[in-house]
Amino acid sequence: MADVAREAGVSASTVSRVFSLPGTVRTDTRERVLAVARRLDFTPNRTASSLARGRTRTLGLLVPDVVNPYYAEIVKTVQRRTRAKDHALFLADTGDDPADGFELARIMARQTDGLLLAGPRMTDGMVGELTRAGPVALIGARLPETDSAYAQLDTGMRHVARHLAALGHTRIVYVNGTRTARTPGHRQPVQDACDEFGIELVEQLGPFDLTFDNGVAAADLVPTSGATAVIAHNEMVAHGVACGLARQGRSVPSDFSLVTVDDTFMARAIHPALTALHIPLDVMGVRGVDLLLQRIEDPDGEPRHAALPTSLVVRGSTGRPGGARP
């Protein structure tokens, strides 16, 4: 920077201002400085800038599992939005352990301007603590004190129930996990939606987590349940159910209809393609980043929440019970 200043015949502060506050420098000086900078291939050192300003222009994103397409899509959109806002992105994959996630978050909080937690696997108390310690925004989860962007599952589940009811299903199983079963925000909407459309609901708790393998296990219990349709709480478990049913020689949708919550590219990557409740992950990511950036600007504002609409995408995995023609 000193070199550029000398070559351009100005002081270092002017060079600095050309890059950080271009408006305060007269146009011709600015041009001259920029020309020299280009010639000398100079770019301001971001580390030094961070130190001087106390801002890193870096955001941190924590996800439980990048390999899961649900989170991968979030990573993708968050990463893009972050870059569009001229920030860099630290990524951490936390796994399922709450303590690990919390620890990682704390470490990351020290090196970033703010944290984005996607589907955090930690206790509400931990999230609260992080929120008090620095800017935090949630993606795909909601807590009163923390900014968040999440999907409106209640109306979404009504779409699903209406669709199944219209096809003639009167008894369905809902494949859930023990974790989400305890957070009523996810389970209650299903119950309410089924009640509204006169559907009998059989809740099938996966043994622990909503993984592919547990979906396969759940599929084994479906035929004896007396239900004709299955709603899977997320897409990994939905694929497990689909795969499990196929292995049993059952056919979708003629033996059982299957609906998944979440709609990543994988829903279309099997045959029949899965009818899905589309969660707007891209919008959630963008809103999450924006909320976080606002929070960084104004640390003491009221918590803000973005509830995003879902939509039902009907594909080949749902049909009339027993494969009947309409």
Partner DNA sequence: GCAACCCTTGCATGCGCTTGCAAAGCGGGT
Partner DNA sequence: ACCCGCTTTGCAAGCGCATGCAAGGGTTGC
The binding site for DNA (CB under 7 A) comprises 1-2, 9-14, 16-17, 19-21, 24-26, 29-30, 42, 44-45, 48-49, 51-54
Among 67, 198, 302, 326, binds a copy of itself (CB under 8 A): 67
CB of 91 to DNA, least distance (A): 24
CB of 30 to DNA, least distance (A): 7
Q: For residue 100, state whether it binds a copy of itself (rule: CB under 8 A).
A: no
CA distance 180 to 278: 19
Q: For residue 69, state whether it binds a copy of itself (rule: CB under 8 A).
A: yes
CA distance 200 to 217: 22
CB of 205 to DNA, least distance (A): 48
CA distance 234 to 242: 12
CA distance 169 to 133: 49
CB-CB contact of 266 with 279 (8 Å): no
| Complex with DNA: residue 30 or 159, whichever CB lies closer | 30
Stretch that binds a copy of itself, among 50-58, 157-165, 185-193, 220-228 (CB under 8 A): 50-58
| Complex with a copy of itself: residue 132 or 182, whichever CB lies closer | 132
Tokens of 150: 């999440």
Closest-CA residue to 135 (of 144, 121, 125, 146)? 146
CB-CB contact of 251 with 226 (8 Å): no
Stretch that binds a copy of itself, among 64-72, 158-166, 175-183, 294-302 (CB under 8 A): 64-72
The entry of DNA, a copy of itself, none that residue 21 binds, CB within 5 to 8 Å by partner kind: DNA
Q: In what order do the strands lie in the sheet with 171-176?
A: 200-205, 171-176, 229-232, 257-261, 275-278, 311-313
Q: For residue 38, state whether it binds a copy of itself (rule: CB under 8 A).
A: no
The entry of a copy of itself, DNA, none that residue 183 binds, CB within 5 to 8 Å by partner kind: none
Per DSSP, which regions of the chain are E strands?
Answer: 58-63, 88-93, 114-118, 136-139, 147-151, 171-176, 200-205, 229-232, 257-261, 275-278, 305-308, 311-313
The entry of a copy of itself, DNA, none that residue 79 binds, CB within 5 to 8 Å by partner kind: a copy of itself
Among 4, 5, 75, 286, binds a copy of itself (CB under 8 A): 75
Q: For residue 47, state whether it binds a copy of itself (rule: CB under 8 A).
A: yes
CA distance 281 to 62: 15
Closest-CA residue to 249 (of 279, 219, 286)? 219
Query: Considering only residues 239-278, where is the footprint of a copy of itself by CB under 8 A?
Result: 239-240, 242-243, 246-247, 264-266, 268-271
| Complex with DNA: residue 16 or 77, whichever CB lies closer | 16
| Complex with a copy of itself: residue 242 or 289, whichever CB lies closer | 242
| Complex with a copy of itself: residue 55 or 182, whichever CB lies closer | 55
Q: For residue 224, state whether it binds a copy of itself (rule: CB under 8 A).
A: no
* Residue appearing with tokens 């209650």: 188
b/e per residue 53-81 (b: at least 16 CB within 10 A): eeebbbbbbbbbbbebbbbbbbbebbbeb
CB of 46 to a copy of itself, least distance (A): 5
Among 5, 15, 34, 65, binds a copy of itself (CB under 8 A): 65
Number of CB atoms found within 10 A of residue 218's CB = 26
Residues at the contact surface with a copy of itself, assessed by CB under 8 A? 43, 45-48, 50-51, 56, 65-67, 69, 72-73, 75-76, 79-80, 83, 88-93, 104, 108, 110-111, 212, 239-240, 242-243, 246-247, 264-266, 268-271
